[in-house]
Structures are given as C-alpha cells and as structure tokens.
C-alpha cells in the first residue's frame, strides 16, 4: 500500500486533557532514545577503531592535532548531522528504506564537509583516521538500525512494540481493503483501532466492519479519534469526502496530536516510481511506467550471470556431496529437469536436485484431494513422495542450487517471480500473466515472505509487485533476506 502524508499537524496537547496517542508517543520516544544510545555507542567504537588502526597504541608523532579533543567533537558533530538529516523522524523509523538512506547521506555529507573544511583551513587531521572512522561508523550505524528495526518488527508481530493507532475513514469497501492491507504487514506499525464511515451507512446500533468497530461518521472524525485514542487518521476513498471536507479535516486536527495520512486507491507501487507534483493546489501523484528493458536490464543480466558463475565455482564441492547423497538414498537420477515457463511465455527446462521418488508425477492424482494450498499450485507438508534426503534438501532450499545453471544460461534470474508450470500458465488470467514480463527467479519476494506458507493470492501479489517495481537495490535486499529465510526454514516443505 502507498500512503502519502498530507498534513503533519503540530503535536501539542489539548487544553485540559491528555492528547490522543500519548501512550504511542511515549513508546516512540523510548525507541528513539534507544536509537540515540545505539548510534552514540557505534560512533564511539568507530572513532576508536579509526584511531587505533591509524596510530596504534602510540601517540601521533609530528602532529599538533589533539585527537583526545577531536574524537568527542567528531562524535557530537556526527550525531548532530544525523539529527539534521531527520534520521530520528518517526515518519521514516521502523519501515522502508528511507531511514537507511538518510543515515548514509548524513555520514557521507559530513565526511565530505570535513574534507573540504580541512583542505580550506589547512588542518592536518589524519585522512586515514577519518576514512576508517567514517567507513566503520557508516556501516555500523546501518547494522545497528537494522538490528533495532528487526527487534521492533518482532515486537509488533506479537502485538507489542511501538505502533501507530489508526482510525480509518472512508466507504465500507475501501475501509475493509485498507484494514486488510495494513494487517497483512503488522510489522509496518499501523494498528487499526476503529473506523468512520459515511453518515448514510451509519446504523442506530453499534456496527463493526469485520472486527473493526465503527466509532462514528464523517461529521465527528476528530472526536472519534480522541475517544479511541488514535494518533493517526488514515483517509481512504469515499465519494462523500470531498477535497474541501478533507482540507477542513486537516484544519480540525491541527493541535490535536493526530496525524492525517491519505491512502490513495493506487496500491502496490514502490516509492521510486511515484512523484508528487503540486498543480493548481492539488498534490497530483505521477506514476512512472514499469521498466522492462533498457540499460538497467542489461546490467541486471550481467550481474546475474557473473554471480551465478562465481557461485557455481565456489559451491561445486557441496554440489558433488549433495549429488552423492541423493544417489545413495534412492533409485533414480540426481537431477530433476522440469518444464517451466519463462519470460514472454517461453518454455525451458529448470534444473533441480531430485527430492521425490521417480514416479512422483504418477502419484500426484492420488494426492490431489490433500492439497494444502489454494490457487493453481499443489503443496503438502507431509508429501509421501519426498525422499529422506529430499526433505533435508527442501528444508534448506538446497534442491534449487542447480538453477544457477539456468541463470548462467540466461533462462532465469537470481531474483524474480516463481517459475510457473505450463499447466498453471494455461489458467492465468490477464493480471497474473504479467508475471511473465520478466525472467523467473531462484528467489524472490515470495521466498523471503513465507514461501509455501503463503496463499496463492498473496504469492501472486508479491510476484506482480516485483514485476512492477524491480530494481537492482531491491534485488540485493531480497538476496540478503533469502539467507535469513533459508536459515529459518520458513515455509519450506
């Protein structure tokens, strides 16, 4: 879901009472304090490493620079730089890549500024000391932020941790859709606590949309937010909520401590493709078309083939051991070659280590009634066709390593949608067929988000999201997350 902050009112208290979301704000401030402590510790260690790496245990010779004073000043200025780049802004904390970009930008800009100032003022601070300190510090800050965020996400998944309490406003259908979207990713930190619907739909008895209580109509949104302790009002589509009424709602929320966000009907579009342009007082959203060819695609292909070749060379001893284990465990070939559909609907043979008995396809009809997933795929946790070695290979996704050969041949990518069977493609509708606009991948959003635990609908949604919003940076992130998904064996069976 794509949310655009329309207004961010001043967070001042209501006269004579506690402002809405006071508990949330307290949890938010506690999380920010943890980040400040982490950043301070990381920077202190980075500066110490820079000093020891450059000078060792001895005092710098031939220099009049008092590094005992330089170190704390550098640490303080670095923290100020992080603050100036709004690295502690709650709008970017806990979700999305903007937090990491700001941390890196703050460090790089400070490093550049110090280098320029040192050159102009002819100050002889060791460049080696600064280079090592900034390199270690920048990486350390990113790692510390990542660790803090993962801990926050785990807390949010348990229903704890710092989350925004959201009052959703809109038509019933759009409210239900937005609630479903927000609950699909609880780690994003948006906890729906109530809804306001148009006056015409309001009944004289208490109502619920699913398990979300209806706490009011469009006439009393600020009062409803105060009553349920919401700190965020999320407005979705509604014919009755005109631009004038929305602007007045922003005015009504000023000074209440409640944020107003607008959730446009456009969903599953990544930030880099979205640009807000003010035209005649309207915040028009310009959406760039997806990129399916061009220089970036050539670079992706080059990176795919290069990394797959390196991986095949490095993993060749492991591949031999796995092949021997498969051969000793059960009768049949080591490799299993299955026809899959690739980019543009072109069929190819995907390579996998054999994890089932040789007559697995013939036994499928007998097991069809025990399918544990919806949609077009067959999945079964305790599939009797899987061999003993096959279960181990599937648990750690080792059966997919031969697909590196498919990547090297240009039939697949390291990251992309799941390669479908021809029987699945034959039943695709127009939307699902967009998965074939790019090469299928060894891993993808479907793998790092749960693999076989995902429903058919969620798997398709993730694949289409990748097709529309792919980038090299996203590929690297997915590859990194794949290691965690494999080690955790999530959804592997």
Residues 424 and 365 in one domain: yes
Contacts for 149 with CB less than 8 Å, ≥ 6 apart: 94, 95, 99
Torsions phi, psi for 417 (to 5 deg): -65, 160
Distance of CA 274 to the CA centre of its chain: 17
Confidence (pLDDT) at 319: 95
SS (H, E, C) the chain: CCCEEEECCCCCCCCCCCCCCHHHHHHHHHHHHHHHHHHHHHHHHHHHHHHHHHHCCCCCCCCCCCHHHHHHHHHHHHHHHHHHCCCCCCCCCCCCCHHHHHHHHHHHHHHHHHHHHHHHHCCCCCHHHHHHHHHHHHHHHHHHHHHHHHHHHHHHHCCCCCCEEEEEECCHHHHHHHHHHHHHCHHHCEEEEEEEECHHHCCCCCCEECCEEEEEEHHHHHHHHHHHCCCEEEECCCCCCCHHHHHHHHHHHCCCCCEEEECCCCCCCCHHHEEEEEECCEEEEEECCCCCCCHHHHHHHHHHHHHHHHHHHHHHHHHHHHHHHHHHHCCCCCEEEEEEECHHHCEEEEEEECCECCCHHHHHHHHHHHCCCCCCCCCCCCCCCECHHHHHHHHCCHHHCCHHHHHHCCCCEEECCCCCCHHHHCCCCCCHHHHHHCCCEEECHHHHCCHHHCCHHHHHHHHHHHHHHCCHHHHHHHHHHHHHHHHHCCCCC
- Whether residues 224 and 77 share a domain: the answer is no
Same structural domain, 309 and 434: yes
Q: What separation in angstroms does the CA of 96 have from each of 101, 291, 398?
A: 10, 21, 30
| Structural tokens at position 456 | 């058919």
**Residue owning tokens 């820079």:** 50
Which residue, 137, 158, 179, sits at the end of a domain? 158
Do residue 86 and residue 168 come from a single domain? no
Say yes or no: 110 and 184 in one domain. Answer: no
Q: Give the number of other CB atoms < 10 A from CB of residue 49.
A: 17
pLDDT of 13: 38
Say if 194 falls within a structural domain.
Answer: yes
Residue 437 in any domain: the answer is yes
- Asked if 448 and 478 count as a contact pair (C-beta separation under 8 A), the reply is yes
Position 290 in a domain: no
CB contact burial 318-342 (16+ within 10 A = b; e otherwise): ebeebbebbeeeeebeeebeeebbb
What pLDDT was estimated at residue 17? 43
**DSSP-derived secondary structure for 202-268:** --SS--EETTEEEEEEGGGHHHHHHHHT-SEEEE---SSS-HHHHHHHHHHHTTTT-EEEE--S--S
The pLDDT profile of the chain, 493 residues, written as one tens digit per residue, is 333 333 333 333 343 344 555 667 788 889 999 999 999 999 999 999 998 887 776 665 555 667 778 889 999 999 999 999 999 998 889 887 889 999 999 999 999 998 888 778 777 678 888 899 999 999 999 999 999 999 999 888 887 878 899 999 999 988 998 998 888 888 888 999 999 999 877 778 888 998 899 998 898 899 999 999 898 999 988 878 888 888 899 999 988 888 899 887 666 666 667 767 776 666 777 677 677 777 888 999 999 999 999 999 999 999 999 999 999 988 889 998 989 999 989 999 999 999 888 766 666 666 655 555 555 555 666 677 788 888 888 888 899 999 999 999 999 999 999 898 898 888 887 778 888 989 999 999 888 876 656 777 778 888 888 888 888 888 888 898 888 777 765 545 4
Judge if 299 and 413 occupy the same domain.
Answer: yes
Total structural domains in the chain? 3
DSSP H/E element including 172: helix 172-184
**Last residue of some domain: 267, 284, 308?**
267
We report the CATH number of the domain holding residue 262 as: 3.40.50
Closest CA to 111 of 93, 86, 130: 130
User: Is 306 among the domain residues?
Assistant: yes
Q: Return d(Cα 73, Cα 65) in angstroms, integer.
A: 13
Do 51 and 129 contact (CB within 8 A), yes or no?
yes
Q: Please tell me the predicted confidence (pLDDT) of residue 484.
A: 75
Rounded to whole angstroms, the Cα distance separating 31 from 243 reads 35
Distance CA 86, CA 45 (A): 23
Q: Does one domain contain both 335 and 195?
A: no
In this structure, is residue 287 part of a structural domain?
A: no
Structure tokens at 353: 């280590």
pLDDT at 297: 87
CA pair distance 270, 152, nearest whole angstrom: 23
Look at residue 381 and tell me if it is in a domain.
Answer: yes
Structure tokens, 191:
């906890």
Helix axes of 295-329 and 472-488: crossing angle, nearest 10 degrees: 20
* Residue 87 maps to a domain: yes
Q: Are 54 and 129 in contact (CB under 8 A)?
A: yes
Q: Tell me: do 132 and 211 sit in the same domain.
A: no
Same domain flag for 187 and 247: yes
Cβ-contact 262, 19 below 8 angstroms:
no
Last residue of a domain, one of 139, 158, 177: 158
Does 396 map to a domain?
yes
Chain center to CA of 474: 9
Do residue 324 and residue 350 come from a single domain? yes
Both 132 and 172 in one domain: the answer is no
Residue 226 near residue 256, CB atoms below 8 Å: yes
Instruction: Say yes or no: 107 and 230 in one domain.
Output: no
Domain residues for 172? 164-267
């Amino acid at each position: 879901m794509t949310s655009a902050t329309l207004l961010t009112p001043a967070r001042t208290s209501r006269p004579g009472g506690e402002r809405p979301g006071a508990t949330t704000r307290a949890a938010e401030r506690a999380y920010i304090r943890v980040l400040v402590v982490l950043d301070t510790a990381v920077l202190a260690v980075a500066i110490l490493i820079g000093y020891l790496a450059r000078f060792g245990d001895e005092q710098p010779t031939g220099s009049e620079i008092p590094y005992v004073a330089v170190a704390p000043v550098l640490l303080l200025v670095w923290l100020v730089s992080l603050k100036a780049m709004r690295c502690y802004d709650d709008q970017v904390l806990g979700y999305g890549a903007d937090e990491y970009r700001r941390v890196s930008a703050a460090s790089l800009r400070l490093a550049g500024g110090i280098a320029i100032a040192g050159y102009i003022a002819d100050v002889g601070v060791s460049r080696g000391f600064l280079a090592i300190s900034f390199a270690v510090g920048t990486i350390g800050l990113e790692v510390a932020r990542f660790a803090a965020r993962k801990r926050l996400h785990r807390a949010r998944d348990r229903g704890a941790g710092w989350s925004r309490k959201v009052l959703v406003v809109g038509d019933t259908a759009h409210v239900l859709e937005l609630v479903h979207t927000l609950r699909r990713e609880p780690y994003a930190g948006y906890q729906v606590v109530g809804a306001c619907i148009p006056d015409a739909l309001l009944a004289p008895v208490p109502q619920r949309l699913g398990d979300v209580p209806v706490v009011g109509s469009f006439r009393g949104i600020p009062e409803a937010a105060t009553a349920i302790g919401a700190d965020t009002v999320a407005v979705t589509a509604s014919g009755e909520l005109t631009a004038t009424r929305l602007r007045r709602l922003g005015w009504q929320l000023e000074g209440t401590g409640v944020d107003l966000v607008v959730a446009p009907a456009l969903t599953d579009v990544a930030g880099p493709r979205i640009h807000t342009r003010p035209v005649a007082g309207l915040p028009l959203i310009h959406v760039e078309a997806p990129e399916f060819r061009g220089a970036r695609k050539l670079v992706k292909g080059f990176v795919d083939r290069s990394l797959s070749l390196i991986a095949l060379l490095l993993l060749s001893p492991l591949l031999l051991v796995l092949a021997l284990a498969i051969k000793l465990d059960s009768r049949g070939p080591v490799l299993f070659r299955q026809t899959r559909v690739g980019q543009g609907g072109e069929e190819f043979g995907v390579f996998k280590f054999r994890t089932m008995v040789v007559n697995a396809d013939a036994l499928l009809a007998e097991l069809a009634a025990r399918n544990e997933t919806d949609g077009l795929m067959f999945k079964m946790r305790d599939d009797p066709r899987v061999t003993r070695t096959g279960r181990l290979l599937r648990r750690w996704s080792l059966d997919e390593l031969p697909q590196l050969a498919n990547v090297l041949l240009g039939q697949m990518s390291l990251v992309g949608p799941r390669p479908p069977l021809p029987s699945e493609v034959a039943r695709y509708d127009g939307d699902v067929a967009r998965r074939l606009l790019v090469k299928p991948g060894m891993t993808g959003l479907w793998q790092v988000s749960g693999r076989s635990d995902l429903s058919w609908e969620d798997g398709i949604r993730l694949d289409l999201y990748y097709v529309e919003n792919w980038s090299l940076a996203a590929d690297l992130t997915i590859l990194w997350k794949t290691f965690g998904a494999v080690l955790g064996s999530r959804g592997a069976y």
